[in-house]
Amino acid sequence: MIKHILSLLLIPLMLYAQEPIKPGAHLLKNPERWLHAVDDRAVGLLDKGELSNLFTNYGILTDFHLANPALHWPRAGSDVQHYGFGSGLILVADDQVIASIYDQSSSALDFGWEAYDGSLGMYHNDERNDFNTSGDDITPFLAFSDIRETWPEQDGVSTWPGYFRENLQVPGQYVEGEFTSDRDIFAVFQDVYGLGLRVHQTAYSYGRYYAEDLIIFRFRLFNDGDESFDSCYVGYQADLKPDFYADDYINYWQIEPYTESPSFFYKWDHNGVAQRDDSSHFEDLWEGPVGWLGMGMLETPDDLGITSFHYYHDDYSPIENEYFAAILQNDTASTLEDIDRYFHGDDPAFDDPALWQETDKDSLPGSEITFTIGSGPFSLAPGDSIDFAIVYAIGADSAALRQNVDMAYFMAHEASYQGSGPPATPHLTAVPGDGLVKLFWDNRAESSVDAISNEVDFEGYRIYKSEDFGATWGEPITNFFGDEIGWQPIVQFDLADSITGLDPAYGANFPTANKWLGDDTGIQHSYTDTDVSNGLEVWYCITAYDKGVFDPTDPSRT
């Protein structure tokens, strides 16, 4: 049960009887379509790591005003430790701008992206239960890779609607039934203008130590229409707040060897002290450090790299399409009112972070900075598609953030977004006999290559047995604190390589660790279970495990 840890604001579902307050270009594009889309809307919860986030299938990637967690960090942090206050996908397609905005401060309500028609039942489950419904008991969850109850059904069978992980040994192939992260979430949305633009969105959340402080979104943009778009720009607005006081700084990194221009943009707090907007301290309401956080583009259309970065005071965050177009196209000559608020320095494409004082409104150290990044131009002909991706990352300080960012770019470019995972699952065959069951399995797991270390690190097999139709799988295993975290296998086979005994990560600091690495039994590919009774149904399960790479200075790395 995960519904109790998130919160949704129902305001977007209640506004359909009201006129939007902001006039002009910010009016709802198609009110009838918007009303119908409510049925197809759903949310995704990324919470496998320390950084958690709730996002939508209508273009909003994080927004505390709409729902939370909103880039909440760390896991043990209090309810005030949210860093995401507005970030979404923006597309300029020739003269048309598509963006979804929900901004309470400006009474702005504008969904240029909407859930794809028929998403409910096609891309996520249409039957509500405790496993597939969010914290408001109404809004559905999107399809989560680790919760089959969220998957749509085809002919009565739960079916994953998205992409499986890429086969690192055979690029371009996907491994059916296996996923990229500890939770992949899939969604589809479309533009509301009838342009025929459709987006596949896949989000990744990692519970592994090296990626627990980052969240990744991948996008595949399709042109299903009849018109060709010759000048497209994709971008993102980012209202990321280290705390709630206007004393932040901004900078960027070029992530070599993967980018030739600045590609990750980050903010940090002036004094590292969590403060409210009246400058008072949160004190015991804040757990741990004030994070350094930011976002970057891991992939860009046609490998263009990031071609625009512009920051501004949060009070001047654009809500009109013309401003987004000018910012993403670096149009310093635009005649729009106060356009100079969005350009700082001599480079029309990249603002100079040292000029942050130009955005300052209160003469305090630092400022309340929001920024926009983008990439273009690129073309999109009918029937074409193009890929791009972003990462949100956070760390306790500059060094920790940079380590997390480097890992994100490495995973994206060297491991198709995958981290270290278990070996491939063996195929298990059971042959019943008189008072026995013979089990056989293949050796596919033994050649599995770890995505991060690039090593073959297979160590052994564990076989489990259930006599209650899968409710339990043997005697419980407990961790250092006595919590039940797994099951005792009926038999285990491991390589005779002197890697034996209890996993070195076992201990008070790592409460999920309690794995026996083996006894140097040697590997087998068959086993006969004689502890069975004729006529009684039993289930078997086999898992393969690896040895990990143990660092005695940091047992979490095993």
What are the tens digits of pLDDT across the range 278-294? Answer: 788 888 889 899 999 99
What is the arithmetic mean of pLDDT over 513-529?
A: 89
Sign of CA dihedral 142, 145, 148, 154: positive
Helix intervals (H) in 62-212: 119-122
What is the C-alpha separation between 150 and 38, in angstroms, rounded? 18
Q: What is the rounded average pLDDT of the residues 1-8?
A: 40
Q: What are phi and psi of 146, to 5 degrees?
A: -100, 5
User: Does position 8 have pLDDT exceeding 60, yes or no?
Assistant: no
Per-residue pLDDT at 298 exceeds 80 = yes
* Beta-bridge partners for 477: 486
Query: What is the CA angle 154-158-159, rounded to 5?
Result: 70
Distance CA 139, CA 536 (A): 42
Given the structure tokens 């042109």, which residue do they identify?
223
When pLDDT is averaged across residues 127-155 and rounded to a whole number, the result is: 91
- Nearest one of 228, 219, 488 to 375, comparing CA atoms: 219
The span from the CA of 248 to the CA of 483, in Å, is: 42
Mean pLDDT confidence for 403-407 = 97
pLDDT attached to residue 556: 44
Distance CA 92, CA 96 (A): 6
pLDDT of residue 478: 83
Q: What is the average per-residue pLDDT within 113-117?
A: 95
The predicted structure's pLDDT at residue 512: 56
> What does the pLDDT average to over 391-399?
98
- pLDDT score recorded for residue 482: 80
C-alpha to C-alpha distance for 94 and 321, rounded to whole angstroms: 12
Nearest in space to 349 (alpha carbons), one of 502, 212, 233: 233
Beta strands in 53-182, from DSSP E residues, in sequence order:
53-56, 60-62, 67-68, 84-93, 96-103, 108-111, 113-115, 143-144, 153-154, 157-158
Q: Give the pLDDT band of residue 35 (cuts 50, 70, 90).
A: low
The string of pLDDT tens digits covering residues 524-549 is: 999 999 999 999 999 999 999 998 76
d(CA 141, CA 128): 9
Return the amino acid letter for 410: F
Would the pLDDT of 161 be above 70?
A: yes
Q: Do 344 and 355 contact (CB within 8 A), yes or no? A: yes
* Cα gap 267→309, rounded to integer Å: 14
Query: How far apart (Å, rounded) are the C-alpha atoms in residues 190 and 91?
Result: 12
- Asked if 94 contacts 88 with a C-beta cutoff of 8 angstroms, the reply is no
Q: Residue 278: CB partners within 8 Å, gap ≥ 6?
A: none
Residues 47 and 134: beta-carbon distance below 8 Å: no
Higher pLDDT, 347 or 279: 347
Share of the chain above pLDDT 90, in %: 68
Phi-psi region of 305 (alpha: psi -120 to 50; beta: other; left: phi over 0): left
Residues 6+ apart with CB under 8 A from 272: 289, 290
pLDDT digits (tens, 9 = 90+) for 90-104: 999 998 999 988 766
As a whole number of angstroms, the distance between CA 2 and CA 44 comes to 12
Q: Does position 257 have pLDDT exceeding 70, yes or no?
A: yes
Confidence category of residue 419, pLDDT binned at 50, 70, 90: confident
Report pLDDT digits (tens) over 365-392: 778 899 999 999 999 999 999 999 999 9
- Cα dist from 102 to 9, 57, 97, 347, 439, whole Å: 11, 14, 16, 30, 56
Contact at 8 Å (CB) between 262 and 350?
A: yes
State the pTM of this model: 0.84
For residues 91 and 232, give the distance between their C-alpha atoms in angstroms, rounded to a whole number: 7
Residue 36 is predicted with a pLDDT of 63
pLDDT band of residue 358 (cuts 50, 70, 90) is: confident
Q: How confident is the model at residue 28, as a pLDDT?
A: 36
Q: Is the pLDDT of residue 177 over 80?
A: yes
Supply 322's token pair.
């013309």
Mean pLDDT over 446-457 rounds to 86
Average pLDDT over residues 23-37: 45
Quickly state the pLDDT bin for 171 (edges 50, 70, 90).
Answer: confident
- Identify the pLDDT of residue 507: 58
**Higher-scoring residue by pLDDT: 459, 12:** 459
Alpha helices (runs of H) in 169-310, residue ranges in sequence order: none
In the predicted model, is pLDDT for residue 147 greater than 80?
A: yes
In the prediction, which pLDDT does 33 show?
52
Output the average pLDDT for the chain: 88
Q: Which of 274, 279, 277, 276 is nearest to 291 (CA)?
A: 274
The total number of residues shown for the chain amounts to 558
- The 8-class DSSP code of residue 31 comes to H
Separation of alpha carbons 76 and 90, rounded Å: 32
pLDDT at residue 365 in the model: 72
Binning pLDDT at 50, 70 and 90, where does residue 46 land?
Answer: very high
Structure tokens at 269: 């707090």
